[in-house]
Structure 1
Amino acid sequence: MVPAGICSSAFARAFAELAADRWGFLVILGAFRGNRRFQDWERSAGFTPSVLANRLRHMVEVGVLRQRPIDGNGDRLEYRLTDKGLGLHAWALAVWRWERDWHEIASVADDGRFPVLVHRSCEAETTPQFVCDCCAAPLEPEAVRWRAGPGLDDHNYLAGLTSRRAESSASDARPKYAGGAFDLIGDRWTLALTVALFQGIRRYEALRTEVGVSTNILALRLKRMVEDGLIARERQGEHSERFEYTLTDKGRALYPVVLGLTQWADRWLSGKDGIRFRMHHMGCGADCRTEVRCDVCAQPLTPHDVAVRLVSGKELERARRRRKKNI
């Protein structure tokens, strides 16, 4: 389960801080994948210069990235993740895992190869595992309860965000290495509805009330989520005209993505009153945080201990088929 008050939650606060859309998130993910210079993002993700300059400038303003000169007179700059930016590492790994398991991944190399993660400590290809930091058990939605923290407020952070749809459409491009994944992950209403569904809210009117979204946007997002396989639309009774929406396995797999944003916001965006929510793991009975571990050696995956290796499409597909059998 996830907390009520979705629009005032840490998840919503993270979206507001990052002014997030698919391109903003791609700037962050690109930084974790080794992008440093302006042209790195242009080449790897299909940005137009104006959109990229806007997103980089915002990430510097909110302290996620910092600029550093790479020549003597400071005319050429590179971008590096700050400590605040590195705090999004769990989110970045969650996005990478979900994209790998549930979406088509486009090539990021000129020779058609694809990225996989390698844990430097054990030198193995790794699949990030999202576990309780107290008992090391996997964190599942049904085993998590959220308690109000001292910093909880009633501000609607999602309502304050302006749409960048026109600007994104003007770029006339889909992220090169993200397939269609970031059309979903980078949309605040899609993720907010996913959070509400994790909470057990399933009916149309209840979703509209909880998320605070207009009926036309809600109808469009639910239709898209059904088409993309995130949710299923089920009739409430044999002769009923009312429907409920439930998360599919693909939708449930977004849980670590939500946890990553929530935990980052509580760490970096909490005010003097403290965090907005406490996460309680019913499995061990402790208030906990999410820890990301290697599935091979069970050790934590830290930002500086994960590398990206490029493999062929055939290698990637063989690995994906093996993993699907175990999901």
Structure 2
Amino acid sequence: MTAGPGDSPTLLEAGSQNAVAHALGIIGDEWTLLLLRYATALGVRRYSDFLERLPISNSVLTNRLSRLAELGLMEKVAYQQRPPRFEYRLTKRGRDTWPILLTIWAWEATWVPQHEERLPVMRHSRCGQPFQPLLMCAACGKPVEPRDVTGGFGPSGTWERSVPAATTRRRSFAGAGASPGLFPQTMALIGNRWSSALLGAAFLGAHRFKDFEQRLGAPPTMVADRLRTFCDLGVLDPAPGAERADWLSYHLTAKGRAFFPVVMCTLDWGHRWFKAPEGRALVYRHTECRRIFTPRLACDKCREPLRGGSDVSIEPEARA
């Protein structure tokens, strides 16, 4: 892999993990999401400010900030020489994660009633209304639901290349600050390499246990555990199979389908910033306009497109 700076894509090696795997390997870490959230929404840059605002240990914070700089999402810049002090500024690659953060925030606020702290209300800065991000087709400007998009693997897309490697998943350290717990169900869906793969399989039309097993290449016990977790969360709904009643068929619920904007924004970010020489890992089309589907977000109140994180204001937080 040829690392690029924060304003140019990373060039991947042929046959290596594709854009999907790299994106999920980064986004599927809760501390990373929180650091990006504070940097994007609140403009936090300095180590001491991150440490003050988050229930995080020095070792975890140092690890994640170094990782974000290594991956090109932040730039480590000296602001003082004696003694040396640094701040971590978002690069264009880092700033471009705002649609992912916004859709995760909206999904958790709508579908997950219990959080360790109250999730602030998001307000559209231009119309002044509390809002939910609305997923739109960038080509035709129309709202999009999961059923409106079709597609599958592109030139660099296989199940094996799309699953994040275990080494890319930075686990939280034990002890102080071991788990922030602010996006609990999002992490249950994408914070585990097999969970994210199973979720992708569900959106690509897998329903039966053997379909998930074959596509993921995961041990049957792992597939069974992930399916049970998704059902417990209310993301999948098991039903008797058409061939045999004891062969369950798993279908996305309304809660599961509502996670679609998170998936699409994550894939779009990954494809823009991690380029495989063979081409895209996944290719989707909007069935109505028949063009390649590129996600865009809009305010569901005024329908104006959201141009960036500056379009969203966050009301003051209240800790539990």
- Normalised TM-score (structure 1): 0.80
1:250 aligns with 2:255: yes
Question: Corresponding residue for 1:296?
Answer: 301
- 1:68 alignment partner, one of 77, 80, 85: 77
Q: Aligned to 1:261, what secondary structure does the other structure show?
A: helix
Question: Corresponding residue for 1:305?
Answer: 311
1:136 aligns with 2:141: yes
1:11 aligns with 2:20: yes
Aligned residue type for 1:138: P
Q: Distance in 2 between matches of 1:253 and 1:79?
A: 33
Question: Corresponding residue for 2:11?
Answer: none
Question: Corresponding residue for 1:95?
Answer: 104
Aligned residue type for 2:269: W
Question: Corresponding residue for 2:127?
Answer: 122
1:200 aligns with 2:205: yes
Q: 1:223 and 1:44, CA in 2 relative to 1: closer, same or farther beyond 3 A?
A: farther
1:125 Cα shift? 2.2
Question: Corresponding residue for 2:196?
Answer: 191
1:196 Cα shift? 0.6
291-300 or 25-34, which deviates more: 25-34
Q: Distance in 2 between matches of 1:264 and 1:135?
A: 20
234-243 or 290-299, which deviates more: 234-243
Question: Corresponding residue for 1:31?
Answer: 39
Q: Distance in 1 between matches of 2:298 and 2:180?
A: 28
Q: Distance in 1 between matches of 2:218 and 2:39?
A: 32
Gaps of 5+ in 2: 1-15
Q: 1:73 and 1:119, CA in 2 relative to 1: closer, same or farther beyond 3 A?
A: farther
Aligned residue type for 2:192: D
Q: Distance in 2 between matches of 1:222 and 1:154?
A: 18
Q: Distance in 1 between matches of 2:192 and 2:159?
A: 22
Q: Distance in 2 between matches of 1:60 and 1:116?
A: 30
Q: Deviations over 1:200-250 (max 9, x none)?
A: 111112101112222222222111111111111222269732111111111
User: RMSD of aligned C-alpha atoms?
Assistant: 3.0
Aligned residue type for 1:11: V
Q: Aligned to 2:166, what secondary structure does the other structure show?
A: coil
Q: Deviations over 1:61-90 (max 9, x none)?
A: 010111233434462222222101122121
Superposition pairs of residues 153-232 of structure 1, within 5 angstroms: 156-158=161-163, 160-162=165-167, 167-170=172-175, 173-232=178-237
1:39 Cα shift? 4.1
- 1:49 alignment partner, one of 48, 58, 68: 58
1:146 Cα shift? 2.1
Q: In the alignment, is the contact (CA less than 8 A) between 2:24 and 2:196 conserved in 1?
A: no
Of all paired residues, the percent bearing the same amino acid is: 29
Q: In the alignment, is the contact (CA less than 8 A) between 1:97 and 1:128 conserved in 2?
A: yes
Q: Distance in 2 between matches of 1:156 and 1:187?
A: 16
Q: In the alignment, is the contact (CA less than 8 A) between 2:165 and 2:193 conserved in 1?
A: no
Q: Distance in 2 between matches of 1:307 and 1:119?
A: 6
Q: In the alignment, is the contact (CA less than 8 A) between 1:8 and 1:154 conserved in 2?
A: no
Aligned residue type for 2:262: V
Q: Deviations over 1:114-171 (max 9, x none)?
A: 4122222223322111100122222222211226555557862426323868644555
Aligned residue type for 1:57: S
Q: Aligned to 1:145, what secondary structure does the other structure show?
A: strand
Q: Deviations over 1:289-308 (max 9, x none)?
A: 11111122322211222221
Question: Corresponding residue for 1:324?
Answer: none
Superposition pairs of residues 248-327 of structure 1, within 5 angstroms: 248-301=253-306, 302-310=308-316
Q: Deviations over 1:31-63 (max 9, x none)?
A: 223232334444544322222221211111010
134-143 or 238-247, which deviates more: 238-247
Q: 1:251 and 1:180, CA in 2 relative to 1: closer, same or farther beyond 3 A?
A: closer
Q: 1:177 and 1:155, CA in 2 relative to 1: closer, same or farther beyond 3 A?
A: closer
